[in-house]
Chains A and B, each alone.
Chain A
Amino acid sequence: QKEVEQNSGPLSVPEGAIASLNCTYSDRGSQSFFWYRQYSGKSPELIMFIYSNGDKEDGRFTAQLNKASQYVSLLIRDSQPSDSATYLCAVESASKIIFGSGTRLSIRP
């Protein structure tokens, strides 16, 4: 079983809609969870981090964490073409960050 799992996509969402990205993880002891965005040919950049169960909102982005289900998600409201990228879920496990393989998101005009 992979430590951090994501659907590779591509996930195609119309402009203005909500994009929903999901991630599951295997280490029940994980305490910190991150979403990174990576444009093609560029380096990953942090969008959101979440430590507590529930929702955390920042602008158009909402991270959701459910530790009981070992599930973390990212919602992007009012999706824009500039949101088209690969989104990497990252989970802190045993003092290191484990990345998922990413979900490719495509926003169609």
Chain B
Amino acid sequence: DTAVSQTPKYLVTQMGNDKSIKCEQNLGHDTMYWYKQDSKKFLKIMFSYNNKELIINETVPNRFSPKSPDKAHLNLHINSLELGDSAVYFCASSPHSGSGNEQFFGPGTRLTVL
């Protein structure tokens, strides 16, 4: 019944490794997002997809690569992990990409890079 789900919930890994986070929404929404929330709780958008098409790509290192196999899924792959990548990553979805959209957030993935 979970509307927006993410796996894994926790991820602890060494510097230099490659890891992926998966996100799925069962709300029938067209638009999905990845956000990064740092230790100061600042929530910043990274990417947005609308119907599998990339529509927002913020200034994010190209070690981060999103992939949307269908409109219900948006995965995030991170290459060559760095200490500064440690954060909570939230997936979110909204009905469409237009204005006035409520965003529904997943439970978050806490990434710790050692």
What residues of chain A have their CB less than 8 Å away from a CB belonging to chain B?
Answer: 31-32, 34, 38, 42-46, 49, 51, 86, 88, 92, 95-99, 101-102
Contact = CB atoms under 8 A, between A and B. Distances in A.
A44 B99 contact: no
B41 A102 contact: yes
Contact of B43 (A49, A88, A92, A95): A88
B99 A99 contact: no
A interface majority secondary structure: strand
Q: Is the interface of B mostly helix, strand, loop or mixed?
A: loop
14 contacts: A34-B102, A38-B41, A43-B90, A43-B107, A44-B43, A44-B90, A44-B105, A46-B103, A49-B102, A88-B43, A92-B99, A96-B48, A99-B44, A102-B42
Contacts of B40: 101
Interface of B: 40-45, 48, 55-56, 90, 97, 99-108
